[in-house]
Amino acid sequence: MNRILSVGTPFPAFKKTAVISIEKGKEFYELNSSEVINGSNWTVMFWWPKDFTFVCPTEIAEFNKHFGDFTDRDTTLIGASTDSEFVHVAWRRDHSDLRDLKFPMLADTSKSLAEELGILEANEKVTYRATYIIDPQGVIRWVMVNDLSVGRNVKEVLRVLDALQTDELCPCNWTKGEETIKA
139 bridge partner residues: 10
13 bridge partner residues: none
pLDDT tens string 97-123:
766 888 999 999 999 999 999 999 888
pTM: 0.91
User: Is it the case that residue 182 has pLDDT exceeding 50?
Assistant: yes
User: Averaged over 43-70, what is the pLDDT?
Assistant: 85
Residue in 44, 56, 78, 113 annotated catalytic: 56
pLDDT at 1: 46
Secondary structure string (H, E, C) spanning 19-62: ECCCCCCCCEEEEEHHHHCCCCCEEEEEECCCCCCCCHHHHHHH
Q: Distance (Å, rounded) from C-alpha 101 to C-alpha 104?
A: 8
Q: Which of 147, 144, 146 is nearest to 158 (CA)?
A: 144
pLDDT tens string 120-156:
988 888 899 899 999 999 999 999 998 877 778 889 9
Cβ(29)–Cβ(85) under 8 Å? no
More confident residue, 51 or 17: 17
Q: Distance (Å, rounded) from C-alpha 105 to C-alpha 80?
A: 5
Q: Distance (Å, rounded) from C-alpha 168 to C-alpha 134?
A: 17
pLDDT at 55: 61
| 172 carries an active-site annotation | no
Fold for domain 15-150?
Glutaredoxin (3.40.30)
Q: Which of 22, 84, 76, 88 is nearest to 52 (CA)?
A: 88
User: Averaged over 10-39, what is the pLDDT?
Assistant: 90
Helix (H) or strand (E) holding 131: strand 129-134
pLDDT tens string 57-94:
678 888 989 999 999 999 999 999 998 888 878 887 87
Among the ranges given (50-54, 61-65, 154-158, 165-169), the one the predictor scored with the smallest mean pLDDT: 50-54
Distances (CA, A) of 35 to 39, 41, 43, 92, 129: 10, 10, 11, 24, 24
